[in-house]
C-alpha cells in the first residue's frame, strides 16, 4: 500500500483505531502512523497495566524456556531491532530510552542452582548460542557488588534492557508529533455483520475505523468478547519493586533463584534497580502484598547485599497478558480487527516484532517468518476465533 500522503485523494481512506496505550498499542500506532490516513489511540486507563511498571528486560537468552524455541526465534530477531528503534525514537523527539547492552548474568547461589545453570547453558547450546560459564571470581570482577554467596554464573551477552518509562514517553511524544491523537476513556470494539467497524465510546458514540487494533493486554479477552471473538489472554499478576542508590551499583541485569524465589535485578543508569517479579495466576487482582515485598527484598539483598541501604522507591503491580503457549497473538483475527496482545513477559522485547506484524496485517508489507507461529488462529487451548 502506498504511503497515505502519496496516494491520490480519491483512494480509500485508512482510519485506524488502537485500543490500548501500553507498549503494544503505542508501537502499533507508531508502526502505522506514517502510512495510513489517521490513527487514534484510546488509552482506557485499564487497571494493572503492565507496561508502565515493567522492568524492560530485552532478554531473549535469559528467558528461554523448554519448548519455547519458536518464541525464542521471534524474540531473538526482535531484540536485534531495538538499537534501530531506540535510534529512531531519539531522532523523533530527543528522548534517550536508556538502551543498555551489558547483557544478563544468570547466577547460582546454591549447589542445586549450578545444575539449573548447566541446563540453561545446554538449552542455549542447542540453539547454537553456547553462553560463557563464569566462576565466582569472574562474576564479581564484572559486578563487584555481588554477594560472596555467588558460586558461578552464565554470561548472556546479547541480552539488552531499556528504561520503560523513557520508552513510553518517547513513543507518546513521537506519536503526538506525527499527529496521532491519544484519547483517554474506555472504548469497546463494535461489529457490523462479520466486520469490526470501529469502537464505541463511553458516551455511546461510535468512532468508525477501517481497522481496529486490539492491544489491551490482560484486558483483551473481555473487550474481544464484545464482538463475539474469543482471545485467549489471562492476567498473570507480577509485583515489582524499585530501589535507588546514590551511585549505580550494577551494570548487568542479574537473575538468580534465592530459597526458591526467582528474582531479577535490572539496573537503570540513574542508580535505580528494578527488582522483579512475582508471578501469580489470580485474575484481576492488583493488591500489593507484604509477601511479595518480603520475598523480593530478601532475594535481591541476598544477591547484592548493599541494596539493604537503598531507598525503596516503589512497589507496583502489573498484569501480564498471559496465553496458553506463552506466545503473543499477532495479526488479523477477524475482518477489520488486528490483534497485538498476549505478549505475556515480553511486551518490550517483542515491540519490534509487533510493529512488523501489525504493518503486515494492515498494510500488507513483508512479514517475518518467525512470526508465523504466533498468528491469532493457531491451535492452542485458548484460541482466537469467531464462534
Output the residue with the shortest Cβ distance to ligand GLY: 345
- Work out whether 277 is an interface residue with ligand GLY (CB under 6 A): yes
Write down the least CB distance from residue 277 to ligand GLY, Å: 4
Task: Identify the residue among 17, 44, 46, 57 touching ligand GLY (CB under 6 A).
Answer: 57
Write down the least CB distance from residue 240 to ligand GLY, Å: 7
The label of the residue with cell 504493518 reads: 359
Task: Determine the angle formed by the axes of helices 351-363 and 82-93, rounding to 10 degrees.
Answer: 80
The three grid cell numbers given for residue 136, joined into one nine-digit string: 565466582
Write down the least CB distance from residue 159 to ligand GLY, Å: 11
Three-class DSSP category at 169: helix
Write down the least CB distance from residue 276 to ligand GLY, Å: 5
The three grid cell numbers given for residue 2, joined into one nine-digit string: 502506498
Binding mask of the shown chain, residues 6 to 45, with x at each position contacting ligand GLY by CB under 6 A: ----------------------------------------
Q: How far apart are CA 354 and CA 74, in angstroms?
A: 10
Q: How far apart are CA 153 and CA 222, in angstroms?
A: 43
- Work out whether 218 is an interface residue with ligand GLY (CB under 6 A): no
Task: Identify the residue among 55, 180, 231, 258 touching ligand GLY (CB under 6 A).
Answer: 55
- Work out whether 345 is an interface residue with ligand GLY (CB under 6 A): yes
Of the pair 28, 60, the CB lying nearest ligand GLY is at 60
Write down the least CB distance from residue 138 to ligand GLY, Å: 26
The three grid cell numbers given for residue 351, joined into one nine-digit string: 515491540
CA-CA distances (angstroms) from residue 145 to 131, 137, 176? Answer: 22, 12, 41
* CA 100 to centroid of chain Cα atoms: 16
Of the pair 41, 277, the CB lying nearest ligand GLY is at 277
Residues 282-321 that bind ligand GLY (CB under 6 A): 320
Of the pair 196, 277, the CB lying nearest ligand GLY is at 277
Stated as kind and residue range, the H or E segment containing 292 is helix 290-303
The label of the residue with cell 562474576 reads: 139
Write down the least CB distance from residue 190 to ligand GLY, Å: 32
Of the pair 42, 219, the CB lying nearest ligand GLY is at 219
Q: How far apart are CA 202 and CA 185, in angstroms?
A: 7
- Work out whether 254 is an interface residue with ligand GLY (CB under 6 A): no
Three-class DSSP category at 117: helix
Classify the phi-psi angles of 85: left when phi > 0, otherwise alpha if psi is within -120 to 50, otherwise beta.
alpha
Bridge partner list, 208: 198
311-348 burial, b at 16+ Cβ within 10 Å, e below that, comes to eeeebbbbbbbbbebbbbbbbbbbebbbbbbbbbbbbb
CB-based contacts of 144: which residues, under 8 Å, 6+ apart?
none
- Work out whether 238 is an interface residue with ligand GLY (CB under 6 A): yes
Of the pair 197, 220, the CB lying nearest ligand GLY is at 220
Question: Under a CB-based contact definition with an 8 Å cutoff, are residues 176 and 153 in contact?
Answer: no
Stated as kind and residue range, the H or E segment containing 191 is strand 187-192
- Work out whether 338 is an interface residue with ligand GLY (CB under 6 A): no
Write down the least CB distance from residue 50 to ligand GLY, Å: 8
Of the pair 202, 279, the CB lying nearest ligand GLY is at 279
Write down the least CB distance from residue 55 to ligand GLY, Å: 6
DSSP type of residue 280: B
Of the pair 55, 212, the CB lying nearest ligand GLY is at 55
Three-class DSSP category at 97: coil
Write down the least CB distance from residue 344 to ligand GLY, Å: 7
Task: Identify the residue among 153, 189, 235, 276 touching ligand GLY (CB under 6 A).
Answer: 276
Closest CA to 50 of 199, 233, 225: 233
Stated as kind and residue range, the H or E segment containing 127 is none
- Work out whether 328 is an interface residue with ligand GLY (CB under 6 A): no
Size of residue set near ligand GLY by CB under 6 A: 7
Write down the least CB distance from residue 238 to ligand GLY, Å: 5
Residues in contact with ligand GLY by CB under 6 A are 55, 57, 238, 276-277, 320, 345
Amino acid at each position: 500500500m502506498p504511503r497515505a500522503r502519496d496516494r491520490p485523494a480519491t483512494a480509500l481512506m485508512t482510519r485506524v483505531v488502537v485500543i490500548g496505550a501500553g507498549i503494544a498499542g503505542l508501537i502499533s500506532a507508531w508502526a502505522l502512523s506514517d502510512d495510513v490516513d489517521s490513527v487514534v489511540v484510546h488509552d482506557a486507563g485499564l487497571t494493572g497495566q503492565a507496561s508502565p511498571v515493567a522492568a524492560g528486560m530485552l532478554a531473549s537468552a535469559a528467558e528461554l524456556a523448554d519448548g519455547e524455541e519458536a518464541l525464542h526465534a521471534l524474540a531473538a530477531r526482535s531484540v536485534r531491532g531495538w538499537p534501530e528503534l531506540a535510534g529512531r525514537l531519539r531522532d523523533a523527539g530527543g528522548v534517550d530510552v536508556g538502551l543498555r547492552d551489558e547483557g544478563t548474568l544468570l547466577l547460582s547461589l546454591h549447589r542445586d542452582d549450578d545444575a539449573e545453570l548447566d541446563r540453561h547453558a545446554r538449552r542455549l547450546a542447542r540453539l547454537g548460542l553456547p553462553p560463557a560459564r563464569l566462576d565466582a571470581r569472574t562474576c564479581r570482577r564484572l559486578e563487584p557488588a555481588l554477594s560472596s554467596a555467588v558460586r558461578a554464573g552464565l554470561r548472556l551477552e546479547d541480552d539488552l534492557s531499556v528504561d520503560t518509562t523513557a520508552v513510553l514517553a518517547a513513543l507518546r511524544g513521537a506519536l503526538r508529533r506525527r499527529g496521532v491523537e491519544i484519547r483517554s476513556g474506555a472504548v469497546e470494539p463494535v461489529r457490523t455483520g462479520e466486520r469490526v467497524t470501529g469502537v464505541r465510546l463511553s458516551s455511546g458514540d461510535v468512532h468508525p475505523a477501517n481497522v481496529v487494533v486490539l492491544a489491551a493486554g490482560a484486558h483483551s479477552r473481555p473487550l474481544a468478547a464484545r464482538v463475539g471473538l474469543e482471545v485467549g489472554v489471562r492476567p498473570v499478576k507480577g509485583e515489582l519493586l524499585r530501589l535507588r542508590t546514590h551511585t549505580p551499583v550494577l551494570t548487568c541485569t542479574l537473575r538468580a533463584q534465592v530459597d526458591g524465589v526467582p528474582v531479577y535485578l535490572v539496573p537503570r543508569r540513574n542508580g535505580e534497580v528494578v527488582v522483579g517479579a512475582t508471578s501469580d495466576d489470580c485474575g484481576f487482582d492488583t493488591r500489593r502484598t507484604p509477601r511479595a515485598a518480603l520475598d523480593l527484598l530478601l532475594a535481591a539483598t541476598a544477591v547484592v547485599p548493599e541494596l539493604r541501604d537503598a531507598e525503596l522507591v516503589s512497589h507496583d503491580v502489573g498484569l501480564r497478558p498471559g496465553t496458553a503457549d506463552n506466545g503473543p497473538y499477532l495479526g488479523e483475527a477477524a475482518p477489520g480487527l488486528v490483534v497485538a496482545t498476549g505478549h505475556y513477559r515480553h511486551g518490550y522485547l517483542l515491540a519490534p516484532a509487533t510493529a512488523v506484524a501489525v504493518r503486515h496485517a494492515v498494510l500488507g508489507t513483508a512479514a517475518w517468518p518467525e512470526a508465523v507461529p504466533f498468528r491469532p488462529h493457531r491451535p492452542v487451548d485458548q484460541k482466537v476465533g469467531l464462534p
